[in-house]
Structure 1
């Protein structure tokens, strides 16, 4: 066996149907009694349900901030911090997916307040030390153990209200974390096992662990570049980019491709075919232009994507990376010919 290093993520996970009911107990164990509740505008009803659960346990939220936004813009974080300054919160509870959890991380790392996540999608952000923030059209990412949420509650019932389209793209987002863990520079037998084990919300947790403990490569770099720079939806961008980024790296990672081909149904030994087939069956949109990216943005995206060095199993070729982005923009099926 090859030598490897692996860092276990800190934090506590509470998993199961109805587990959101355990939030009051989790707060009390930490001596907390005045959480700030966070959500996007579309998750206000779930925040109200959580507030009712807390009220039943004689816990009164310090306040509710429901303007979390994808890609965690710094001006939204500043707005939330200003709101927080007028409250007497002793903790932060994020209720939602990656957008809300990102805001919770941004607040927690700035204030030191304990952060509890109640996740409603398959984003995986809740179990990573990674924070991506957008400012002036550029998305930057940093990793710090202080960013880790302390407790994550996975209540499968909360995922049942997700629209079918978002369920599909959020699920593929989770798959993307596992895919890149298979050929990460710091891959290990542990992350490889987690990557191929993932199924449904349990799988989102495992693939999120992969994301938090592995060096992500081209796929995640492209998604951060394209999503943050052109304000494209996160999960949908991951869904579109994944088969194309994998096609680019495929010649350099034959072992990972073999494992993926085994994990993907109807691949016939070809992981790219398996992913293309999966996305066709999910009936998801395959073109970035459908979400507002313009053709003239392709060159800018390619320039940003190769501007900083990051670990990738295949050397980056700007001309070929541009072609990868063009295919994503056009919505073409992925093919391994670059």
Structure 2
């Protein structure tokens, strides 16, 4: 993967498409970002085959199938994904099916642009796969594109990024370099978000983009555990907003795993500047005005049992053995917006 980083780097998009041999790029966006997609299509001129603006959360397969029809109709030979996790996921889904080169232009702190992982949803069930074809060829981090990101979404998108680094610190296939990147990513993002909320837009956005890149690189390098499994389960099953779900679940998932990984929890706490990592993450989200309860983002009360059942399907590694009653309690506390279990 090639990464371009810095203010104004979107201007390099045409050159990157030429380098990749892309002459007819399909620009991908969500409906909300269609105007931005149109602007980029105008900027690259004849290299744009068209704009598809149907990307949506959790990468539903039926949406990918619609986008694939546009790829064929417009004879696209590459894709440019402009936006956050929804658009990036669609670009990955197309690349997995076609092996077309993809350029990602992130406008949030999702981090998935740095990974060869694709999560797709069919009939309310989200599954993931990993394949070299899924990894984007080029990522262009232009901090100017994050200036219009609303503060509430910047907050949840940023904590979503922190979640990647937290789980990287206790990943089974982790290593010292990834741990350094993870701790620095958490520190940068956790330091940037309060400043951003307070109005320090320019410097805070710069730090947040650097933090997002580090956290995303961790996500792409090592495996994830309980937190990501729960968020995929909840998001895909109940169609919950991705970043908000990560924000709410993260303190609870870390509180569950912390007794099994004290060194990793200590590094998270150090990066946050607190004594207890899980409580610190909860307080960070609360202090930034983020929603703290799954019920407040659309999850029904009777979904707790269903989510618990799905969390135990398809075995996956976690540093602490999964205990059904404890996992159900974790989800219930997150649903109600309670503090995570542990020290206060």
The bucket for the TM-score relative to the shorter chain is over 0.9
Q: Identify which of 109, 117, 125 aligns with 1:138.
A: 125
The residue that corresponds to 1:88 in the other structure is 75
Instruction: Give ranges in structure 2 of 5+ residues lacking alignment.
Output: 189-207
* CA RMSD, Structure 1 to Structure 2 (Å): 1.0
Q: Is 1:148 the counterpart of 2:135 in the alignment? A: yes
Q: Is 1:330 the counterpart of 2:343 in the alignment? A: no
Deviation of the 1:272 alpha carbon = 2.0
Q: Is the 8 A contact 2:22 2:47 kept in 1?
A: no
Larger helix fraction of residues:
2
Distance in 1 of aligned mates of 2:53 and 2:258:
41
Q: How does 1:107-118 map to 2 (within 5 A)?
A: 107-118=94-105
TM score, norm. by length of structure 1: 0.94
Distance in 2 of aligned mates of 1:272 and 1:76:
36
The residue that corresponds to 1:51 in the other structure is 41
Question: SS of 2:100's equivalent?
Answer: coil
The residue that corresponds to 1:296 in the other structure is 302
Q: Is the 8 A contact 1:72 1:134 kept in 2?
A: yes
Distance in 1 of aligned mates of 2:52 and 2:246:
27
Deviation of the 1:48 alpha carbon = 2.0
Q: Is the 8 A contact 1:250 1:336 kept in 2?
A: no
Instruction: Give ranges in structure 1 of 5+ residues lacking alignment.
Output: 1-10
What are the Cα deviations for residues 289-311 of structure 1, in whole angstroms up to 9, with x where unaligned? 11111110100000000112111
TM score, norm. by length of structure 2: 0.92
Q: Identify which of 218, 229, 243 aligns with 2:237.
A: 229
Q: Identify which of 8, 14, 17 aligns with 1:24.
A: 14
Question: SS of 2:342's equivalent?
Answer: coil
Q: How does 1:267-306 map to 2 (within 5 A)?
A: 267=274, 269-306=275-312
Distance in 1 of aligned mates of 2:334 and 2:28:
33
Greater Cα shift, 142-151 or 28-37: 28-37
The residue that corresponds to 1:71 in the other structure is 58
Q: Is the 8 A contact 2:38 2:51 kept in 1?
A: no
Distance in 1 of aligned mates of 2:141 and 2:51:
21
Distance in 2 of aligned mates of 1:129 and 1:273:
31
Q: Is the 8 A contact 1:183 1:253 kept in 2?
A: yes
What are the Cα deviations for residues 244-300 of structure 1, in whole angstroms up to 9, with x where unaligned? 0000001001001111111103x1x21122112211211100111111111101000
Distance in 2 of aligned mates of 1:194 and 1:220:
19
Q: Identify which of 64, 82, 85 aligns with 1:98.
A: 85
Q: Is the 8 A contact 1:68 1:76 kept in 2?
A: yes
The residue that corresponds to 1:36 in the other structure is 26
The residue that corresponds to 2:151 in the other structure is 164
Deviation of the 1:162 alpha carbon = 0.8
Q: How does 1:187-198 map to 2 (within 5 A)?
A: 187-198=174-185
What are the Cα deviations for residues 16-45 of structure 1, in whole angstroms up to 9, with x where unaligned? 001011000111122222100000001112
Distance in 2 of aligned mates of 1:272 and 1:89:
46
In the alignment of these two chains, the number of paired residues is 322
What are the Cα deviations for residues 138-167 of structure 1, in whole angstroms up to 9, with x where unaligned? 000011111100000000011111111100
What are the Cα deviations for residues 190-210 of structure 1, in whole angstroms up to 9, with x where unaligned? 110110111311111111111
Question: SS of 1:274's equivalent?
Answer: helix
Off by >3 Å, runs of 4+ in structure 1? none
Distance in 1 of aligned mates of 2:123 and 2:135:
26
Q: How does 1:237-248 map to 2 (within 5 A)?
A: 237-248=245-256
Deviation of the 1:336 alpha carbon = 2.0
